[in-house]
Amino acid sequence: MSLSPIDITIFLLSISVILFFARGFGEILRYLKQPIVIGEIIAGIILGPTILGTLFPDTFNSLFNQSEEVVIALNGITLLGVVMLLLISGIEIDLSLVLRQSKAAVIISVLGIIFPFGIGFFSAYLFPQYLGLTDYNMRLVYALFVGTALSITALPVVARTLMDLQIFKSEIGYLIMAAAMFNDLIGWIIFSVVLGMIGQNTEHSLSLSSLIIVILGFILFVLLFVRKFINYAIPFIQKRFTFPGGVLNFIFVLGFLGAAFTEYIGVHAIFGVFIVGIAIGDSVHLKEETREIIYQFVTNIFAPLFFVSIGLRINFIENFDLVLVTVFLVLAFAGKVIGCSLGAYLGGLNKNDSLIIGFGMNSRGAMEIVLGTLAYQYGLVNEKVFVAIVIMALVTSISSAPIMNYFLKKAKTKLRFDMLLKNETIIFSKVKSKTELINELCTNVANYHKLNFNTVYNEVMKREELISTGLEKHLAIPHARINIKEPIVAVAIQPDGIEWNSLDNLPAKFIVLLLTPADKPEIQLKLLSDIAKKFNDVKIIDDIISSRYSHELISKVKQLY
Amino acid sequence: MIFNKIGLAITFSPNGLPLLKSAVRLQKLFNCQLCLIHVGDKNPETESQIKNLVEKTGISEKSFSLIWKKGEPSKSIISAASENGIDLLIAGALEKENVIKYYLGSVARTIMRESPCSVLILTNPCEEPKEFKKFCVSVDFTSLGESAVRKSYQFAKLENAEEFMMIKEFEVPGLAITVYDSGSTDDTEKSKQEWQIEEEEKLKFFAKELNLTGLYYSTVALFGRQGWEARNFVKNNGTDLFVIPSPPKKLKFFDKLFQHDIEFILSKLPCSLLIIRE
């Protein structure tokens, strides 16, 4: 069996059309600050039976339904796309991070899975009719699937959101990433068991217990032995073979081998490649450069083929079931947001930060869609449920960033000068000496924040005597670590300047008092460097000290951020 | 005073004498007590062997105390250290152990991981102990980190060191994933640079707050896998003493299996290592 010249033409043409539309819509969505993957799915819906197939059925059929051979070829290539997608999903999991999480991250991870899984499982098991189950023999498997589907978190979308909100490198960002990685790992393991169970009902001979043993054995073997082997092999290959060709080849060879093995034992191919990916990603010898090459190549060429192909197979309008979509959405939000927020809250975070984490973990993006597609291909879910799952994935992904942003604005733990600045703690001073000014600042802060004046004043003076806190360009930051929960700043303006023994011998005109929690030394360093960085220009300082009112000063400071 | 009491397990291996000489040198440098620990039977033969060794260093019998212990070497040394108020244990170690020893644990490695007090591991002790000239401290922004810098800075001053460097590693897990969705490496690179600057600034303030005077110091922020980056940096820099604050938790077998942080340094020592514990 081979492709005729016309088949080959159509095949290549359809791939270029898919890639063109995928990129086009991806870029539009990126411009709207949304995940690119959503654009790719929309491209599929437009090119598929939903829009193009309805309006121009001939064009649609000649592009995507020309002959059986072309469809098979396209399916083969989208399979390759999803396998590669799972390879990089594995590579990006930081195993050491998953294995040594902080207490809060562990609780978030665990509740973030158990809670949504439980809600999904019991809803589907007790009320299967509302969740679209058709074959009652599959009740248990189906309930397990719904549980898994609800407990997925999509790492790439989460990472992108955190980056856009500028909290990637923060405690919340760290917690979300650690928990999301754990979630991914456990989610795929459960799902692989579910897929294995579907296979069981048909022709496969492995019993459930032996299936679980084989899966666990495979995970252990890859993560213990293959991982060590990879760690020795990569530097060897980098030295002896051409770079990056040798390493790229090695990674894909291993990945496809893993995929072939799990497919053989009756669990989908993507599971094997995912676990092998984890083992590869753990190697310290894997260069950042190599990672990026694989990521670029897979996410820009192969993954879009897969995501667009989803829309090509199904009519989204015909199969849209409002009740089903609503049920899935409600369960998805309830399970994940409650589970993760509760976990964060029990882990010691405040309510607001907990909600940020809850909504952050709620985006399901690409991973959910992969999961839904496989379930659909295996015949576990019908078109309507599949459409509901895709829509649920899209809605949770899109809503995540704006909701997080809303809570971020209300967040209490503020680690930026402009956020800590308050009208009441700004003074326009006339005093002539450093001690008088510090006294004035401390009095004001002690009154406003109900602190003991003597403690604050003594600590600040003690620090001042050690080495001067005068920086350059009329800026001085007297500071102390005291027994408080959240950092406090206060500002004094003295246009005539006060001798502060500064590095550049200039008098201090803009003085910031900085008090930080004694048990968190890093907060002090963060705020000190933040303030020093923002006010390292004479023009900025001159502009600030020309302010006549507190609110004027605050608005000038806010403009710097 | 940096350390009050130095402890050294005395052995009759080829490394025994160089280690003893190094310990004696440090005792004089720190002006502190020296405590020798021998794990094994106390009999005329071992006693004379020890006497022999000590004579070669030219120190008087009064300037040190000798403790006899029986049992498994690493455990005995560790218990001798806590019983006798030793606050610095000295041991020699190979840069790298073979695979079997790595998982089972050699005496020196076990001490590094489980000692209750600070540990100094010498990779190349020699008969004519040399001063440490290039110091490098791995910093974390905790009070133990502060104390590690203070102690090693005093140490470096005593040694009249040529270089004193503070490095801060920072890791942003999953950064490469952000490239994945937007496809833009530039944004990620830009954030990485911003974080680098931020970490460097923080490190400078950290150093400034410690008010270190008398010896020039430099600061470096390193982006990458914790432990691994520092190890390679120190190795390439030609540092001869690397100082690290001890990890908060005791390291177990599991940590050897899935290496992280300090395990990268312990499994393949870049140079002599000082682990600060309080």
Pick the CATH number of B131-278 from 3.40.50.620, 3.10.450.350, 3.30.420.10, 3.10.180.10: 3.40.50.620
- Neighboring chain A residues of B146 at a CB cutoff of 8 Å: 521
- Per-window interface: A 103-162 vs B, CB < 8 A: 155-157, 159-160, 162
Condensed to tens digits (0 to 9), the pLDDT of residues A382-409 reads: 899 999 999 999 999 889 888 998 888 8
Q: At what angle do helices A208-221 and A269-281 cross, to 10 degrees?
A: 30
User: CATH says A417-559 is which class?
Assistant: alpha beta
Residue by residue, DSSP assigns A139-157 as: HHHHHHHHHHHHH---HHH
Among A100, A157, A466, whose Cβ lies nearest the Cβ of B260?
Answer: A100
Question: A522: closest CA among A37, A174, A4?
Answer: A174
Nearest CA in chain A to B209: A467
* pLDDT score recorded for residue A119: 93
The sign of the torsion formed by the CA atoms of A195, A196, A198, A199 equals positive
Instruction: Enumerate residues 6+ apart whose C-beta is below 8 A from B263.
Output: B227, B251, B255, B256
Domain residue ranges of chain B, discontinuous segments joined by +: 1-127, 131-278
Three-state secondary-structure class, residue A244: coil
pLDDT band (50, 70, 90) for residue A276: very high
Return all residues near A381 (Cβ < 8 A) that are at least 6 apart: A132, A142, A145, A372, A375, A389
Whether A533 and B201 lie within 8 Å, measured CB to CB: yes
Nearest to A237 by CA among A285, A292, A296: A285
- Place B102 in a pLDDT band, splitting at 50, 70 and 90: low
Please answer whether residues B168 and B202 qualify as being in contact, where contact means their C-beta atoms are separated by less than 8 angstroms.
Answer: yes
Query: A92 vs B176: CB contact, 8 Å cut-off?
Result: yes
Please state the three-class secondary structure of chain B as a single string: CCCCEEEEECCCCCCHHHHHHHHHHHHHHHCCEEEEEEECCCCHHHHHHHHHHHHHHCCCHHHEEEEEECCCHHHHHHHHHHHCCCCEEEEECCCECCHHHHHHCCHHHHHHHHCCCEEEEECCCCCCCCCCCEEEEECCCCHHHHHHHHHHHHHHHHHCCCEEEEEEEECCCCCCHHHHHHCCHHHHHHHHHHHHHHHHHHHHHHHHHCCCCCCCCEEEEEECCCCHHHHHHHHHHCCCEEEEECCCCCCCHHHHHCCCHHHHHHHECCCEEEEECC
Residues of A in contact with B209 (CB under 8 A): 524-525
Closest-CA distance, B254 to chain A, in angstroms, reads: 10
Query: Which residue type, as a one-letter code, is found at position A246?
Result: G
ipTM exceeding the 0.85 mark: no
Q: Which residues in chain B are closer than 8 Å to A514, comparing Cβ atoms?
A: none
Bridge partners for A426 per DSSP: A491
Whether A18 has a pLDDT exceeding 90, the answer reads: yes
Contact B180, A299 (CB under 8 A): yes
- Tell me: pLDDT of B111 over 90: no
pLDDT of residue A204: 52
CA distances from B133 to A125, A334, B22, B147, B154 (A): 70, 61, 15, 20, 13
Tell me if B198 and A300 make a contact (CB, 8 A cut-off): no
Q: How far is CA A182 from CA A103, A129, A305, in A?
A: 13, 32, 27
Distances (CA, A) of B131 to A320, A526, B23: 77, 36, 12
Q: B198 vs A174: CB contact, 8 Å cut-off?
A: no
- Contact list in A for residue B178 (CB cut-off 8 A) is 159-160, 162-163, 168
- Name which of B178, B202, B228 is nearest A160 (Cβ-Cβ): B178
- Interchain contact, B208 vs A97, CB within 8 Å: no
Chain B residues closer than 8 Å to A163 by CB: 178, 187-188, 191
Distance of CA A68 to the CA centre of its chain: 39
A496: three-class secondary structure by DSSP: strand
CA-based nearest distance A510→chain B, Å: 19
Q: Residue B250 has what pLDDT?
A: 64
Angstrom distance (rounded) from CA B269 to CA B108: 12
The CA–CA distances, whole Å, from B169 to B138, B162, B232 equal 8, 23, 12
User: Quick one: how far is CA A334 from the chain centroid?
Assistant: 19
More confident residue, A130 or A399: A399
**Fold: same for B1-127 and B131-278:** yes
Residues B15, B19, B21: CA angle, nearest 5 degrees: 125
Q: Cβ contact (<8 Å) for A296 and B179?
A: yes
Q: By percentage, how much of chain B surpasses pLDDT 70?
A: 90
Report the pLDDT averaged over residues A295-316: 88
Answer yes or no: CATH 1.20.1530.20 is held by domain A86-300+318-410. yes
A38, A103, A160, A163: best mutation site toward chain B, by most B Cβ within 10 Å?
A: A163
**CB atoms B205 and A532 under 8 Å:** yes
Q: Is B232 on the interface with A (CB under 8 A)?
A: no
Distance from CA of A71 to the nearest CA of B (A): 28
Q: How does the average pLDDT of chain B come out, rounded?
A: 84
* Residue in B36, B244, B212, B202 with CA at minimum distance from that of residue A529: B202
3-class secondary-structure state, position A297: helix
The token pair at A238 is 């980098």
User: Do A357 and A407 meet the contact criterion of CB atoms below 8 Å apart?
Assistant: no
What is the pLDDT at residue B109? 81
pTM, two decimal places: 0.83
Asked if B204 has any chain A CB less than 8 Å from its own CB, the reply is yes
Residue B79, token pair as written in the block: 């218990």
Look at B201 and A37 and tell me if their CB atoms are within 8 Å: no
Q: Which residues 6+ apart lie within 8 Å of A160 measured at CB?
A: A35, B177, B178, B180, B181, B182
- CB B176 to CB A97 under 8 A? no
Element (H, E) at A424: none
Q: Are A488 and A449 in contact (CB under 8 A)?
A: yes
The pair of three-digit structure tokens given for residue A207, joined into one six-digit string: 């019993």
Question: Which residue(s) pair with B119 in the sheet?
Answer: B89, B275
A523 vs B contacts (CB less than 8 Å): none
A97 touching B (Cβ < 8 Å): yes
Q: What is the mean pLDDT of residues A473-499?
A: 85
Find how far residue B155's CA is from the centre of its chain. Answer: 13
Structure tokens belonging to residue A512: 């910031």
pLDDT in tens, B231-240: 999 999 989 9
Residues of B in contact with A102 (CB under 8 A): none
Residue indicated by tokens 């791995």: B138
Q: Are A198 and A141 in contact (CB under 8 A)?
A: yes
Mutation choice for A interface testing from B180, B182, B190, B228 by most A CBs within 10 A: B180
What does the mean pLDDT of chain A come to? 86
Q: Do A299 and B181 touch (CB under 8 A)?
A: yes
For residue A175, report the phi and psi dihedrals to the nearest 5 degrees: -60, -45
The pLDDT of residue A99? 78
End-to-end, the C-alpha distance of chain B in Å comes to 14
Cβ–Cβ gap A92/B174 under 8 Å? yes
Interface check for A229 against chain B (CB to CB < 8 A): the answer is no
Structure tokens at A456: 């604050």
Whether residue B177 lies within 8 A of chain A, CB to CB, comes out as: yes
Chain B within 8 Å of A322 (Cβ-Cβ)?
Answer: no
Return the residue of A nearest to B249 by Cα: A100
Any chain B CB within 8 A of the CB of A32?
no
Q: φ, ψ for residue A479 (rounded to 5)?
A: -150, 165
Candidates A32, A222, A529, partner chain B, best to mutate (most B CBs within 10 A):
A529
Q: Which residue of A has its CA nearest to B146?
A: A521
Contacts of B208 in chain A (CB under 8 A): 467
pLDDT band for B104, please (50, 70, 90 cuts).
low
The correct CATH number of B1-127 out of 3.40.50.620, 3.40.50.300, 3.90.550.10, 3.10.20.30 is: 3.40.50.620
Higher pLDDT, B100 or A557: A557
Residues comprising chain B, all counted: 278
Cβ <8 Å between B177 and A288: no
Residue by residue, DSSP assigns A11-48 as HHHHHHHHHHHHHHHHHHHHHTTS-HHHHHHHHHHHHS
pLDDT at B255: 65
Find the CB nearest A159 among B178, B195, B209: B178
Cα torsion angle, A281, A285, A289, A293, sign: negative
Between chains, do B141 and A521 touch, taking CB under 8 Å as contact? yes
| Least confident stretch, A411-420, A454-463, B81-90, B239-248 | A411-420
Backbone φ and ψ for A509, nearest 5 degrees, come out as -115, -30
Question: What distance in Å separates the CA atoms of residue A124 and residue A281, rounded to the nearest whole number?
Answer: 36
Whether the upstream peptide bond of residue A244 has omega within 30° of 0, thus cis, is yes
Residues of B whose CB is below 8 A from A524? 205, 209
Q: Is B211 on the interface with A (CB under 8 A)?
A: yes
What's CA A472's distance to the chain center, in Å?
39
What per-residue confidence (pLDDT) applies to A433? 83
Chain B interface includes A522 (CB < 8 A): yes
Closest approach of A213 to chain B, Cα-based (Å): 22
Q: Does the CA dihedral A166-A170-A171-A173 come out positive or negative?
A: positive
Assess contact for A102 and A175: CB atoms under 8 A.
yes
Most confident among A164-173, A252-261, B90-99 (mean pLDDT): A252-261
Question: Using one digit for the tens of pLDDT, what is the confidence trace for B173-232?
Answer: 777 777 666 657 777 788 888 888 888 988 988 888 888 888 899 999 988 888 888 899
Among A169, A182, A291, A464, the strongest candidate for a mutation testing the B interface, having the largest count of B CBs within 10 A, is A169
Q: How confident is the model at residue B154 (pLDDT cuts 50, 70, 90)?
A: very high
- Only one residue has tokens 């072309």, namely A70
Question: How many whole angstroms separate alpha carbon A423 and alpha carbon B161?
Answer: 50
In angstroms, the separation between the Cα of residue A113 and the nearest Cα of chain B is 20
Report pLDDT for A16.
94
Q: What is the pLDDT of residue B186?
A: 79
Winning range, highest mean pLDDT, from A107-116, A359-368, B103-112: A107-116
Cα A37–A101–B182 angle (5° rounding)? 20
B214 and chain A: CB distance < 8 Å anywhere?
A: no
